[in-house]
Amino acid sequence: MKKTKAILAEIETNGDLIVNIGGRGGNLGAAAEVVFSALKIPETYLANVPPKLGVVCNYLGGGIRGAIFPSATLAEFTAHGLPATYAKRLAEFCNACIERYQELENETGLNDDNDENPNWDAKATALNRTAGVVSAY
């Protein structure tokens, strides 16, 4: 996973990371071609994955964000014809994106909360994420 985090950091440094994080959800990831190149996965498998790889966070309404979930899971990558080795690399990349998304949320203050000034949106978001709520519908 350390290597995958370093690859994600390199993609971010190169300016190829797509970052859209806010109080109404967002996404973080990169174009599949960029990810494949960085992870050394043959481009012949590009048709087996979404055009962008990373994570999404839905907005549940009322200032509350849902769970951060990957564009696809290990099982989904495998089911779409990727060899297990490549599917695992992509799943690790998506997991690294989840961690980076949370770091950026924290850096922007979306999850700031203290006793003097409670952030009810952050509290509700944390509870929904613990419960795994992805969508309000």
pLDDT of residue 134: 80
- From the CA atom positions of the chain, what is the Rg in Å? 16
Residue 124 resides in a domain:
yes
Range of the domain at 49: 2-130
Residue 137 resides in a domain:
no
Instruction: Report the pLDDT averaged over residues 119-131.
Output: 91
| Burial state string for 112-123 with b = 16 or more CB within 10 A and e = fewer than 16 | eeeeeeebebbe
Query: Using 50, 70 and 90 to split pLDDT, how confident is the model at 74?
Result: very high
Residue 10 resides in a domain:
yes
- Report the candidate in 3, 103, 10 with the shortest Cα–Cα distance to residue 55: 103
Instruction: Report the pLDDT averaged over residues 60-68.
Output: 91
Using alpha carbons only, give the angle 134, 70, 9 rounded to the nearest 5 degrees: 130
List Cβ neighbours of 20 (8 Å cut-off, separation of 6 or more): 26, 27, 28
Its pTM stands at 0.90
Instruction: Report the pLDDT averaged over residues 85-103.
Output: 96
